[in-house]
Structure 1
Amino acid sequence: MAPRLRLFILSFIAFFLLGSCDAQSTIKADTLTAQQLKPYGRYLYNQQHNLELISSAVHFGISFTGETCALYVSLADASAHNYLQYELDGVYQKRLRVNGNSKAPIVITTTPGKHTIWIYKATEAHTGAIIIEKIAAEKITPLSVQKLPLIEFIGNSITCGAAADASEVPCGTGAYHDQHNAYMAYGPRVARALKTNFILSSVSGIGIYRTWNMDSPSMPQVYENADFQVGGQQKWDFTTYSPKIVSIALGTNDISKGDRVHPRKPFDTAVYEGNFVKFIQLVKTKYPKAQIALLSSPMVKGESGKMLENCLRSIKAKIDALYPKDKPVATFFFPPMDPRGCSGHPSVEDHAILAEQLNPFFKKLLKD
């Protein structure tokens, strides 16, 4: 064979093989659509069939092979930002900032091999939904949450994990949700320690009959709306989950002195107790078999703390009398805490302390 012909043939073969390799690299990543994911928490699918993550710490899992996983994420507001956070192979990693004007995927990089990732919404419902369009990785498959007992944690900013994490954005700077860390809040910590599932139904500043500085909204006004917003058009489907325990920690904001700008009446124990009893009755219509647990507030101290505890005892007595065949309402009173997070909130480290205090309480309820 002539040298020129041989060189041409070898060049053609090399070109063909290189072309085949390039083609393989472009189709290497598999894709999961939003509708193939199996989220846990409050979520919706929008008209584009994308997944909207709504509640604090709503989460989903995937497994894949390789070194990278690409999340195609967006926000309804191009000028906004939000946060996801993730656990890789059972180990918590970090928060991931989502910019509303970004077109590029968020790429998670790891070592070669097979991996599992659980993605969590780090922020609360009022920061807006985080929209998942698709996820691309090699041999990617969706994961289901294990079938375990479920605890629903209803509460305020403390339950959200708000203002807890100043590791990236210092306190007093940035937006309010820049210090949110729902994964590290006391509820998810308790759930992980006791091997249960969890959902967080929480709103910063909210109470049973008023907010921290205004007369409304209250949790009873927004609880049935999927996005916890007053006037929310989409109702939440309460048949989605059946919690074994519903934990309610509301009172910090009802008893608050306010912002000293808006008029504020003194804390009304009768209104607080009456609205709380009605709210528990509402919860019981959604989850007839759930054990109700009432938590006090580690942030409310002194005479205010005693008053709050007395109210919770009274509420327990009233509910137990109304539902004598149900499990009695359980109560837990936190020791006072000097919080180390932002704006008077518990820090990530403080949430670890709160969870340690709560673990025996919930462990006992789970056995009952």
Structure 2
Amino acid sequence: MLSKYVLLALCGLGLSVAPAAVPTKNPNTLPAIALPTYGRYRLTEAKQLELISSAVHFGFSFEGRQCEIFASLPGAADHNYLQYELDGVYQRRLRIDGSSKAPLTITAPGPGRHTVWVYKATEAHTGPIFVQKITGQRLKALREPAAPLIEFIGNSITCGAAMDASEVPCGTDAYHDQHNAYQAYGPRVARALHTRFVLSSVSGIGAYRNWNSDGPTMSQVYEKTDFQEASSQRWNFSVFTPRVVSIALGTNDFSSGDGKRPRLPFDSAQFVGHYLNFVGLVKSKYPRAQIALLSSPMVNGPNRTKLQNCLTAIKTGTDAAHPADQPVALYFFQPMQARGCSGHPSVEDHAILAKELEPFFRPLVAGK
């Protein structure tokens, strides 16, 4: 069923159901800084579009059979990945090598006008991808249709990390070689509900401690554009206004660590206290947003119950502190034996998680 916002759009009440084209001066060259971008990004002094966060994306259309994306990386030894849709159908990942100067070529199956949406497959800590321009015939930058926005905050699961070994086997080369942010549960839920999305996620991060360290935790990096504590770039939270903010932290707080560094037992009081403070930080950025707390499909056994109890306490504390706001929504995942790399959910597992979450998010994005 379509959300009420999509239904209003269909009735012609001022909302667009198709991507809106942005006028450009040269129809055969589209500068990247002219591309409306969704997710965390930066426009550089060199007039490049710096793609930062997981699944940060932009769209354009072209005519003919082919177009080219000119992209680069900070270092010659680096590699990274974009991925794309062509005419509404997901295609594949595109590897970028820092030493290569060749553009990425997208080929359509036939002539006519085609629509492309390009996504960063990897997370902020993988490093940025710089886009200089798009070339092709009769290019037009696109805006997303007006619709509610969901911000998905989380860890490696939300990033879509370690999920896709179809090109590079698990345990080989770099950690981000199995990243596939487009296929992660958040973007899947958003597409199913005809909403927009942004991902604010960092592998290994937690609410009061990380996978193998005491920090920096999500509350310490959330306000930084690239989720790096030492960064001087602070994100402008007025760029996007989410209807719903989904927070999925806890997997790494419960982790036993890497076996190399000392790890104290899980501390419920610290977890709840730090998580409450982080929810307060999010509410200070988006006072009218619906907050949704998700558990973890990777935390099972007695810890699953403990995590659920902690999230319930966080909801109770937040609702008491903000009695005039919408009550916090809770969702507890069904237990899952993940089939991706290093115990993470796979592409197929993320499809299961998204299907599980759809009925939970549907009334939230509708404002019910």
Q: How much has 1:113 moved relative to structure 2?
A: 1.3
Secondary structure of 1:281 counterpart? helix
> C-alpha separation between the residues in 2 aligned to 1:237 and 1:41?
11
Whose helix fraction is larger, Structure 1's or Structure 2's? 1
* Aligned pair partner of 1:45 in 39, 43, 46: 43
Which position in structure 1 is the counterpart of 2:206?
A: 207
- Which stretch shifts more, 183-192 or 100-109? 100-109
Who is 1:181 aligned against?
A: 180
CA offset digits 1:147-191 (Å, max 9, x no partner): 110000000000000000000000111100000000000000000
1:210, distance to aligned residue in structure 2 (A): 1.1
- Deviation (angstroms), 1:78: 1.2
Deviations 1:113-156, CA, capped at 9 Å, x for gaps: 11000000000000000000000010001000111100000000
Find the aligned partners of 2:112 and 2:347 in 1 and give their Cα distance.
31
Q: 1:147 & 1:207 partners in 2: Cα distance? A: 32
- Paired position in structure 2 for 1:221: 220
- Residue 366 of structure 1 deviates from its aligned partner by 1.9
Q: What amino acid is aligned across from residue 37 of structure 1 in structure 2?
A: L
Cα displacement (A) at 1:342? 0.2
CA offsets, 1:31-75, max 9 Å, x none? 011111111110001120100000000000000001111100000
Q: Distance in 2 between matches of 1:36 and 1:46?
A: 13
- Measured after TM superposition, the shift of residue 226 of structure 1 is 0.1
- Name the aligned partner's letter for residue 179 of structure 1: Q
Q: Could you tell me which residue of structure 2 aligns to residue 58 of structure 1?
A: 56
Match of 1:331 in 2: 330
Amino acid at match of 2:194: K
* 1:89 counterpart residue number: 87
1:95-114 to 2 correspondences below 5 Å: 95-110=93-108, 111-114=110-113
* Residue of structure 2 equivalent to 1:20: none
Note the alpha carbon deviations across 1:244-274, whole angstroms, 9 max, x for none.
0000000000010111100111111001000
What amino acid does structure 1 have at the position aligned with 2:233? Answer: Q
1:288-303 residue pairs with structure 2 within 5 A? 288-303=287-302
Q: How does 1:247-258 map to 2 (within 5 A)?
A: 247-258=246-257
- How far apart are residue 29 of structure 1 and its match? 7.5
Q: Give CA deviations for 1:284-309 in whole Å, capped at 9, x if unaligned.
A: 11000000000000000010110000
For residues 291 and 77 of structure 1, the distance between their equivalents in structure 2, rounded to whole angstroms, comes to 40
Between the aligned partners of 1:234 and 1:298, the Cα distance in structure 2 is: 33
4+ long deviations beyond 3 Å: none
Question: Which residue identity lines up with residue 338 of structure 1 in the other structure?
Answer: Q
- Letter of the aligned partner of 1:96 in structure 2? L
Q: Residue in 2 aligned with 1:156? A: 155
Paired position in structure 2 for 1:17: none
Task: Find the counterpart in structure 1 of residue 134 from structure 2.
Answer: 135
- Does residue 194 (structure 1) correspond to residue 179 (structure 2)? The answer is no
Inter-partner Cα distance in structure 1 for 2:219 and 2:358: 27
Q: Give the Cα separation in 1 of the matches to 2:218 and 2:228.
A: 10
Query: Structure 2: how far apart are the matches of 1:219 and 1:29?
Result: 42
Residues 138 and 248 of structure 1: CA distance in aligned 2, closer, same or farther (over 3 Å): same
Matching residue of 2:346: 347
Q: Secondary structure at the match of 1:61?
A: strand
- State the secondary structure of the residue aligned to 1:300: coil
CA distance in 2, matches of 1:29, 1:72: 16
Whole-Å separation in 2 of the counterparts to 1:83 and 1:237: 25
**SS of equivalent to 1:68:** strand
Q: 1:216 Cα shift?
A: 0.8
Taking the aligned partners of 2:282 and 2:312, their CA distance within structure 1 comes to: 18
Partner SS state of residue 240, structure 1: coil
Secondary structure in structure 2 of the residue aligned to 1:187: helix
- 1:250-269 to 2 correspondences below 5 Å: 250-269=249-268
Post-superposition offset of 1:230: 1.4
Instruction: Give SS of 1:319's match.
Output: helix
Counterpart of 2:13 in structure 1 is none
Normalised TM-score (structure 1) = 0.92
Aligned position for 2:239:
240
Of 63, 68, 71, which aligns to 1:70?
68
* Structure 2: segments with no counterpart, 5+ residues: 1-25
1:16: which partner in 2?
none
Q: 1:34: which partner in 2?
A: 32
Identity fraction in percent: 63
What's the secondary structure of 1:360's corresponding residue? Answer: helix
Larger radius of gyration, structure 1 or 2? 1
Residue aligning to 1:24: none
2:279 pairs with 1:280: yes
Question: 3-state SS of the aligned residue for 2:38?
Answer: coil
TM-score normalized with structure 2 length: 0.92
Q: How many residues align?
A: 341
> Partners of 2:67 and 2:61 in 1: how far apart?
10
Q: 1-side partners of 2:352 and 2:32: how far apart?
A: 36
What SS does structure 2 have at the residue aligned with 1:254?
A: coil
CA distance in 2, matches of 1:43, 1:318: 33
Equivalent position of 2:9 in the other structure: none
Q: Secondary structure at the match of 1:253?
A: coil
Aligned residue identity for 1:61: G
Could you tell me how far 1:315 is from its partner in structure 2? 0.4
